Each structure stands twice: as structure tokens, then as C-alpha cells.
């Protein structure tokens, strides 16, 4: 199966990025009107974002308690990643394993040349060979689509808006007790809330794109669909402590942890049922060709 773009999905992602761009242009315009010394916080946050961008692989692995593994430790896993990367026309990424009962996986790294694919021990125990390859292909599709870089760039000004909401009075200089600063903080709040929702919509669209990419790499959409069914069934049996420790990594996971109200509000992935439905539709399309 050739790597063919889903133009409907691409148009939705482009429209979401356009809305974010328009929102951020208005946001910057308001900030320049109301803040005297905005340069310092922007430079500081920009530096933080650059560090996050260039060291995203190390930060993500450390936050998960994962470590890179050698081919001698996990020869089968390395062989599968190597073969799938070749099928996806990608350099072989690093391979990492996290000792966790939660069956999940994520990809990180700003570009294909320094990407890392990480799986949990729970995932390796839960899936059969075909399902595991479906999940690995999904993560490689994220790498090919440069999703870590896209989401980091998309969220930069949203992060600034959030910081201003919390600490805006510190950036107001001599006007810190006057109405203009309060207006700027309120505008920042609106920008943060709207961009929060848009960025998560963009993340959900990119998950659909990665699912389609996985089907292209393996030629078996049903394998990933089966893996999603297996993983979602096992997630309910993972201890609550394990879920809480890993909640911050939701945006990277093959299936996010969505316990409680906050988890549903901040959903970065589409519903698993909808993903499975689309994969099965893709399977039927491939069978009729």
C-alpha cells in the first residue's frame, strides 16, 4: 500500500493551524499594546521551548522511567522496528523500554534522525506479533509526520498565554496595578483556553493520520485495530497508582489515559471506537483493490 495523503484530514489539520495562527497574531498584537517588558518572558519561554524541542527524546524517556535498550537485550523488538522503519523509508530510530504494567507506546524526537520509539513491558506482554507491529508502525508514522516538532511549535504561544495568566502582573512594569494589564491577562486567558482546545483537536487529527500511516506501513489495518481493542481492554485493569504516575505523557501514548473529568476534558486522542471503525473501513478499501 502506497503512502497516500488523506486530504480531508489534511484540510482539517490545516484549518486548525490557520485558526491557531490567527489567534496568535491577535494575541501578540494585544501583548505589544499592554506590556512594557514582554521581551524578557518571551525570550525565557522561547529558550525553554528550544530546550524541550532539542531534548524532547531524553525528557520524555526520563519522565517515563524508560531506558534505551540494545539489540542484545531485545533482539526481536529491534528487528521489528528495523524492518518497519525500512518499510516506512525511515532511518532506524532508537528503541527504549519502560518497566510499566500499562500497555502503551510512544515516539519522541524532533526529527527522524534522532527519534526514539518506546514501548512498555505491559505492551510486550499484552500483544501478539501482528498487533505489536501495528502499534510500532503507528509510532513510526508519528516520526515520519514529525508530530513532536509540529505539536511543540503549535503550543509555544499557548504556553506564553498560560504563563501570563498566572504571572502577568509581574510583566506589567509600572502598569501592574492598572486596568490595561488586567485586560491583557483576560485576553491571555481566552487565548489559552481557545488554543488549548484547538491544539487538542490538532492532536486528535494527527492520531488519525498516524493510524492511516501504520496501515500503509504494515498493509494490515486490522492488526492495529486489534491492538487497540486489546490495549483498551487491559487499561481498565491497571492499578490507579500506575495511571497517575504516567498521566503527563498522554499526548504521546498510542492510547491516552482518560480517567476522570480532567482526562476527558484534555483528550488528545480520538475515541478508540472511532479509530477502530476507520481502520476497518480502510481494511475493506484495501480488500476491494
Maximum distance among all Cα pairs of the chain, rounded to whole angstroms: 69
Helices (H) and strands (E) in the chain, counts: 13, 4
C-beta separation of 157 from 151 below 8 A = no
Report how far residue 285's alpha carbon sits from residue 225's, in angstroms, rounded to the nearest whole number.
Answer: 15
Report how far residue 80's alpha carbon sits from residue 29's, in angstroms, rounded to the nearest whole number.
Answer: 49
Q: Which three cell numbers stand for residue 235?
A: 487499561
Q: Which residue has the cell 487529527?
A: 205
139 assigned to active site: yes
Total Cβ atoms within 10 A of residue 80: 18
Beta bridge partners of 116: 94, 108
User: Which region, left, alpha or beta, applies to residue 270 given φ > 0 means left and ψ of -120 to 50 means alpha?
Assistant: beta
Spell out the residues 6+ positions from residue 65 whose beta carbon is closer than 8 angstroms to its own: 98, 99, 100
Report how far residue 195's alpha carbon sits from residue 206's, in angstroms, rounded to the nearest whole number.
Answer: 16
List the catalytic residue out of 2, 139, 277, 283.
139
Q: Which three cell numbers stand for residue 149?
A: 516538532
DSSP letters spanning 18-60: HHHHHHHHHHHHHHHHH-SSTHHHHHHHHHHHHHHHHTHHHHH
Q: Which residues are catalytic?
A: 139
Amino acid at each position: 500500500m502506497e503512502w497516500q495523503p488523506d486530504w480531508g484530514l489534511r484540510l482539517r489539520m490545516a484549518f486548525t493551524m490557520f485558526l491557531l495562527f490567527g489567534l496568535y497574531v491577535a494575541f501578540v498584537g494585544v501583548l505589544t499594546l499592554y506590556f512594557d517588558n514582554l521581551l524578557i518572558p518571551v525570550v525565557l519561554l522561547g529558550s525553554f521551548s528550544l530546550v524541550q524541542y532539542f531534548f524532547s527524546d531524553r525528557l520524555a524517556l526520563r519522565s517515563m522511567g524508560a531506558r534505551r535498550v540494545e539489540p542484545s537485550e531485545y533482539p526481536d523488538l529491534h528487528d521489528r522496528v528495523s524492518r518497519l522503519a525500512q518499510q516506512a523509508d525511515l532511518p532506524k530510530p532508537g528503541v527504549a523500554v519502560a518497566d510499566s504494567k500499562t500497555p502503551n507506546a510512544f515516539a519522541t524526537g524532533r526529527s527522524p534522525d534522532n527519534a526514539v520509539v518506546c514501548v512498555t513491558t505491559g505492551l510486550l506482554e499484552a500483544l501478539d506479533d501482528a498487533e505489536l507491529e501495528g502499534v510500532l508502525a503507528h509510532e513510526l508514522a508519528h516520526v515520519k509526520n514529525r508530530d513532536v516538532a509540529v505539536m511543540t511549535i503549535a503550543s509555544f504561544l499557548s504556553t506564553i498565554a498560560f504563563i501570563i495568566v498566572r504571572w502577568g502582573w509581574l510583566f506589567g512594569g509600572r502598569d501592574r496595578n492598572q486596568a490595561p494589564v488586567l485586560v491583557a491577562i483576560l485576553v491571555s486567558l481566552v487565548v489559552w483556553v481557545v488554543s488549548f482546545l484547538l491544539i487538542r483537536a490538532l492532536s486528535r487529527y494527527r492520531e488519525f493520520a498516524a493510524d492511516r500511516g501504520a496501515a500503509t506501513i504494515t498493509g494490515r489495518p486490522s492488526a492495529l485495530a486489534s491492538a487497540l481493542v486489546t490495549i483498551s481492554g487491559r487499561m481498565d485493569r491497571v492499578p490507579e497508582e500506575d495511571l497517575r504516575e504516567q498521566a503527563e505523557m498522554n499526548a504521546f501514548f498510542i492510547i491516552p489515559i482518560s480517567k476522570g473529568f480532567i482526562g476527558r476534558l484534555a483528550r488528545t486522542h480520538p475515541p478508540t471506537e472511532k479509530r477502530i471503525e476507520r481502520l476497518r473501513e480502510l481494511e475493506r478499501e484495501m480488500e476491494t483493490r
